[in-house]
Chains A and B, each alone.
Chain A
Amino acid sequence: MRRLAWLLALGALAAACAVPLDPPPSGAPAGDEPPRSGGVLRLGDAEDPRYLDPARGYDVVSWSFEQMLFNTLVEYDQGTNIVPGLVETWTTSPDGRHLSFRLRHDVVFSTGRPFTAADVKFSLERLLKPSIHSQGAEFFHGLEGATDYIAGAAKEVRGIRVPAPDRVEFDLIGIDPLFLHKLAMPFAAVVDREAVERFGDDDFNAHPVGTGAFVLQEWVYGQRLRLARNPRYFRAGRPYLDAVEATIGVSPQLAWLKYQRGELDVATIPPAEYHRVLADPRYRPLLISRTTLRTNYLGLNCEVAPFDRVAVRQAMNLAINKQRLLELADGQGAIANSILPPDMPGAGPVAGYPHDPEAARLKLGEAGLADGFETTLWAYRDPEALRPAQSIQEDLHLIGVTVNLKPVDFPALIEAVRHPGTVSLFLLGWEADFPDPSNFLTVLLHSRSRDTNNNTFYANPEVDHLLDEAEPLLVNDPRRFRLFHEAEVLVMRDAPWVPLLHPAGSAVRHPRVRDLELHPLRPSRVEGVWLAW
């Protein structure tokens, strides 16, 4: 009996004590030695990439590998500026409808065949082929003759011209200030025509051939994916790595443990460990973090009572404690006071709403709802997504609003919010495809987007007008950003959203991994990454 008491006491003690945080893999996290070639970068992914064919992939994992295998004509620098990729220079006509690119001469596909303008035309026409069913095709519908080509009325896209092997020209139906950004998307990557013809459109996915820094060496589905250095890569001395090997079937939790044991070179930090890792000096030099072009928001359906009243929507904005939401995210990010993320070009200060429950109550009183009301909040089922949801539930409880939580699967959530009159309140986030205000304001808040991504069913003719006016203006035209800003101020006054957070992305690296950076819009690029040992 006494032994039992001891055991119980020990058990209680164990239950009360946290397991100490394991140290990161050992080694000097930085040094002044020059970049060194060689080594294999070891990654872990939960699932195989859905695609390696750039015409089809539209998710982070697919894109992270496609970026290694292929190049685009233009690409992003470490931030959101467009820089040359496969081209040396380009010019845009004064009316913005004609773009002309001069290609690099030193680029070859990994098979050794030289890269020419005809490959660019082939790749984009393949992307537009209806049989490919590419989600990226719509970005290129503005090319002259694209509609005829898609309808089968033309054998080629008139608006993609190849006047010389090192020149490619694009003609657009109208001004498209974002065309360069579209060309920087992995969808527009140049694929090897010969490989596509040899393997066919579908099998190309398993035999991808491009001009990229790496070539696919082995893909054992469900087990591992190995990409080896492309010795013919056109950027001299790159990549530094001999290979990138991704182990498949590694959940984020497992990846974290394998990282701590030194078996993986990069991992994301499990939310439960954030706090301890951030506070631990051993981990601090290994942490990579950066703000992304993302806004998490509480959507208020403007067509459903009582959110059809501005005062109620403003009350929601005043009621929510965003500081606590940031604390729940362990400070990883920034509080959102407006729609656009702060790193978005053209984002300017917007007054926003303070956290003021008393003012929120008054606003509800203004709308004749002083006694509160009952509503349902739809949110993603994941426990980490339900934490902010419960925090919001509690905030609204304090102003007399009873919120029933409806946790659903993610596909069900994005499906449900599109149906008019179905979801009155929802938690979602949006990450920019392009670094341009239109990618938030027009895509999510223009009345014509109500059947796609405007899930709050917000419609304000004044806002529509400003957005329509801004849309065709070139990116360097100062009026463009001013008009978008005016639209954003109006949207915030009408309050279809409660912007919550701009979350930051973060990861930890093995101390031997050098020059790995996170990108605000794209997966990290690895061609500049090297291993110190």
Chain B
Amino acid sequence: MALTGLGSARRSRRFLAAGVVLVGALTLVALAAPWLTAYDPDAIVVALYRGPLGPGGAHPLGTDTLGRDVWARLAYGARTSLFVGALAMAISLLIGTAVGLVAGYFGGLVDAALMWVVDLVLTMPSLLLLIVLATILPPSILTIPLVIGIIGWTTFARTVRGEVLTLRERDYVQAARALGAANARIIVRHLLPGVLPGVVVLAALGMSGAIVVDAGLSYLGLGVPLPTPSWGRMVSDSQTYIAVAPWLVFAPGLSIALAVVGFNLIGHGLIDLVERRQA
């Protein structure tokens, strides 16, 4: 993936700020969900179901196809979607960075073997692999981030490896090696800080990717177990109601879009800053 900034420093700072505000707002909603709504997201709150209720009154975003409060599900769904995205991204980051550091630093056979694994994972059709894994593993809130994380680490590995290949030739690394520092120490103390800025950028972009994948899996009926609300699941459950009750699709759909835009703005804003610092 070619990482490009968004032009001038002022502009990229503005985008970064916008992203932080967006993501911050969504995170705030997720954290403060119990205080933002009086309803239990899983509880059926209408006394008599007569189709989904429109937005307004006691239900600012209406009720869904079971008579549950959509705003409550959206707010608690933010927890699910952000949690899934963050955990998936963290797993990818850990695996990917570790593999990239080791492969780049040791080179040779180790590098070849690890990159062969990366290529292997990349050749597998990821959606198919996701579906297979999500079907085999027992349904739980941890399954989906685990599955997404296990498949998504290759980008981290390749980027970090590339960075390390140049870093390890730098004088300070050579010096550390000449002084007899252990490999582990060199990797952790000297290489890791060097690759971190790039990793942070990737993490922000990976976050939005993971949220989209989670939405896609939920859409296929493989997401977090019912009735736990997640944005993707909310879209898929109400897709046939789009003409009857569009708010059921638009509210979670818009949330997914905002989260993705937010993380992408942060990611691209950071690229610029990182590049400027390195220059």
Query: Which residues of A are interface residues toward B (Cβ below 8 A)?
Result: 14-19, 21, 253, 270-273, 275-276, 324, 327-328, 330, 381, 383, 386-387, 389-391, 393-394, 397, 404-407
Closest chain B CB from A112 CB (angstroms): 49
Pair B221/A324 contact, Cβ less than 8 Å = no
Pair B48/A327 contact, Cβ less than 8 Å = yes
B55 partner residues in chain A, CB cutoff 8 A: 16
Determine which of B48, B49, B226, B243 lies in contact with A407 in the assembled complex, contact meaning CB atoms within 8 Å: B226
Pair B243/A386 contact, Cβ less than 8 Å = no
Q: Bound complex: CA of A21 vs CA of B139, how far in Å?
A: 38
Q: Bound complex: CA of A269 vs CA of B49, how far in Å?
A: 19
For chain B, the bracket of interface size reads 20 to 34
Pair A397/B243 contact, Cβ less than 8 Å = no
Pair A387/B66 contact, Cβ less than 8 Å = yes
Pair A18/B245 contact, Cβ less than 8 Å = yes
Q: Bound complex: CA of A151 vs CA of B117, how far in Å?
A: 58
Q: Tell me the interface secondary structure of chain A in the complex.
A: helix
Pair A15/B250 contact, Cβ less than 8 Å = yes
Query: Which residues of B are interface residues toward A (Cβ below 8 A)?
Result: 42-44, 48-51, 54-55, 65-67, 139, 221, 225-227, 236-237, 240-241, 243-247, 250-251, 254
Pair A18/B244 contact, Cβ less than 8 Å = yes
Q: How many inter-chain residue pairs (CB < 8 Å) link A and B?
A: 75
Closest 9 CB pairs of A and B: A327-B49, A15-B250, A275-B51, A19-B243, A272-B241, A272-B240, A405-B226, A390-B227, A272-B244
Q: Could you give 7 example pairs across A and B, Cβ below 8 Å?
A: A15-B246, A16-B54, A272-B241, A273-B244, A275-B51, A381-B221, A390-B227
Pair A405/B227 contact, Cβ less than 8 Å = yes
A391 partner residues in chain B, CB cutoff 8 A: 44, 66
Pair A386/B226 contact, Cβ less than 8 Å = yes
Q: Bound complex: CA of A19 vs CA of B245, how far in Å?
A: 8
Determine which of A17, A21, A271, A390 lies in contact with B240 in the assembled complex, contact meaning CB atoms within 8 Å: A271
B254 partner residues in chain A, CB cutoff 8 A: 15
Q: Bound complex: CA of A16 vs CA of B55, how far in Å?
A: 7
Q: Bound complex: CA of A404 vs CA of B55, how far in Å?
A: 30
A383 partner residues in chain B, CB cutoff 8 A: 236-237, 240
Pair B240/A270 contact, Cβ less than 8 Å = yes
Q: A271-B240, A383-B237 given. 14 additional CB < 8 A pairs?
A: A14-B246, A15-B246, A16-B55, A16-B247, A18-B54, A18-B244, A253-B240, A273-B243, A327-B48, A328-B49, A390-B226, A394-B43, A394-B227, A404-B139
Closest chain B CB from A251 CB (angstroms): 11
Residue of B nearest to A19 (CB): B243
Q: Bound complex: CA of A21 vs CA of B243, how far in Å?
A: 8
Q: Bound complex: CA of A23 vs CA of B131, how far in Å?
A: 40
B251 partner residues in chain A, CB cutoff 8 A: 15
Closest chain B CB from A80 CB (angstroms): 32
